[in-house]
Amino acid sequence: MSIGWYKKNHIFDPNNSITEKMSYLRDKFWFRWSMLLLVSLVMAANYYFYDALTPIKSVLSEHLGFSSTDYGIVQGFYAFPNTFLLMAILGGIILDRIGIRITGTVFVTFMLIGAWLTLYGASGAYNNGGPGHAFMGSFLKQFSPSVKMMALGMLFFGLGAETSIVVFNKVLVKWFKGREIALAFAINLGIARFGTALAIKLGPRFAERDWLMPIWFGVLLLSITFLAFLIYLVNDYRLDRQIKDDNPQMDETEKFRITDVTNLLKIKSFIYIALLCVTFYAAFFPFLKYAPDFFLNKFGVSPKTSGDITFWLPIGTVLFTPIFGWLVDKRGRAASLMILGSFILIAVHLIFAFTKFNPYPLCILLGVAFSLVPAAMWPSVARIVSENRLGTAYGIMFSLQNLGLFAIPILAGRILDITNKDIVAGQPLNYTITMVLFSSLGIVALFFAFLLRKEDKTSGYGLELPVKKV
């Protein structure tokens, strides 16, 4: 056995005695990146289904008689359980209490159930008098049974999806903290948003063959990636066994205390980053829900072309998010990047509102904005909050974020209906006031980004500094 082997697998103490060095699965470069790939595939399926309806808004109107308000309600109900039932917060607390495996399995399952319910609500089997149709038609009769069943499906999907993302964020911290954590978050987001890009690119093409096919494909992706998550769970168990064997006195569970939440809410940096999260995401994701219909009406293009234009928005995030994640790891400047991303978002929304400038480069630029902020924001939370309370912290952020994701799509749809009530059938919809709404939210996000950078100078969390390696 060579001395080189000993140098790689052992450490030498001052007395020249050889001590075995404990090596965890996460210490292996290829292994931790393989785990990231598994959870990122689940995220990509999540993002695909979240945007499966985005490119077929006009198709839903044609086949199910949806108004813009109906469409906004179905999309907005994704956020209902996390806004009004605080399920992302509760899910984060559960995650900190019982761990990744049980929490992840339960909420990924909810996600899959919600996807099937949404598909059922749109299907002919349901709308031709299938089980539940008569009941759904017996109340709130101003809304069709299809609206209510699809909203219920999106409610279950959102219940699972948002807490699942909280779980995946903690997974990344578990495997990458002190290593390439910002890059890991960025690549995870990039892969996830490739799911959005697929939904927008393929949706109109699928709908030409069968208008339900975009939803069917999303259900299929979620079913396949559920198996990928089961593979991850096996390796999560293996890592925990290694850690437990190396630290036999370690208590894997901790009792939740209400002070865990109140203490988080006393941290100014956490408050500012959480409020930045809700306002920035409310300016971006609800716009994305309407973007294909916006381009269709603003520029008079076909549904396929409007989807192709929108496609460049998530593709921009796929390309640039890993670059900015690497930059945060190596150079820092996380708070400054959040300021820059918020400013770009405001500018693009205002240009969309008041000009007919070529939308392709603007979509790429908006993708840059949505790469800058999340690539800097999510790993920054791990600097502000201790690892054993990250689930609770991310849960609070996702519940606040869902407040915007619930209210803004409905508000945007209502604004569209009101501002276009005198439009003759066949004329394009006017999106100007709706775009002003999105840009206003970006202005608020910019304000909180400035407050975050200012507070970081006194709190000392080092958001502007590179990552310290372990």
Q: Which residues are registered as beta bridge partners of 18?
A: 12
Q: What is the pLDDT of residue 250?
A: 52
Tokens 């008079």 sit at which residue? 300
Domain boundaries, the chain: 26-242+252-459
Q: What's the pLDDT score for residue 404? A: 86
Q: According to the model, what pLDDT value does residue 382 have?
A: 85
Quote the pLDDT of residue 145.
Answer: 93
Output the six-digit token pair for 46.
């999540």
Q: What is the pLDDT of residue 258?
A: 63
Helix/strand/coil (H/E/C) assignment for every residue in the chain: CCHHHHHHHEEECCCCCEEECCCCHHHCHHHHHHHHHHHHHHHHHHHHHHCCCHHHHHHHHHHHCCCHHHHHHHHHHHHHHHHHCCHHHHHHHHHHHHCHHHHHHHHHHHHHHHHHHHHHHHCHHHHCCCCCHHHHCCCCCCCCHHHHHHHHHHHHHHHHHHHHHHHHHHHHHHHHCCCCHHHHHHHHHHHHHHHHHHHHHHHHHHHHHCCCHHHHHHHHHHHHHHHHHHHHHHHHHHHHHHHHHHCCCCCCCCCCCHHHHHHHCCCHHHHHHHHHHHHHHHHHHHHHHHHHHHHHHHHCCCHHHHHHHHHHHHHHHHHHHHHHHHHHHHHCCHHHHHHHHHHHHHHHHHHHHHCCCCHHHHHHHHHHHHHHHHHHHHHHHHHHCCHHHHHHHHHHHHHHHHHHHHHHHHHHHHHHHHHCCCCCCCCCCCCHHHHHHHHHHHHHHHHHHHHHHHHHHHHCCCCCCCCCCC
pLDDT at 76: 85
Low-confidence ranges of the chain (pLDDT < 50): 1-20, 252-253
Round to whole Å and give the CA distance between 402 and 412: 15
Cβ-based neighbours of 199, under 8 Å, separated by 6 or more: 47, 48, 49, 50, 51, 52, 54, 55, 214, 218
Q: What is the pLDDT of residue 82?
A: 78
pTM of the complete model: 0.75
Give me the pLDDT at residue 3, please: 38
**Predicted local confidence at residue 204, as pLDDT:** 85
Position 256 scores a pLDDT of 54
Q: How distant, in Å, are the alpha carbons of 73, 133, 134, 135, 149 from that of 138?
A: 18, 9, 6, 5, 12
Q: What pLDDT, on the 0 to 100 scale, is given for residue 8?
A: 41
**Three-state SS sequence of 358-396:** CHHHHHHHHHHHHHHHHHHHHHHHHHHCCHHHHHHHHHH
26-242+252-459: CATH homologous superfamily? MFS general substrate transporter like domains (1.20.1250.20)
Dihedral sign for Cα 66, 69, 70, 74, please: positive
Q: Which of 105, 54, 102 is nearest to 78 (CA)?
A: 54
Judge whether 107 and 163 are in contact, CB under 8 Å: yes
pLDDT of residue 248: 61
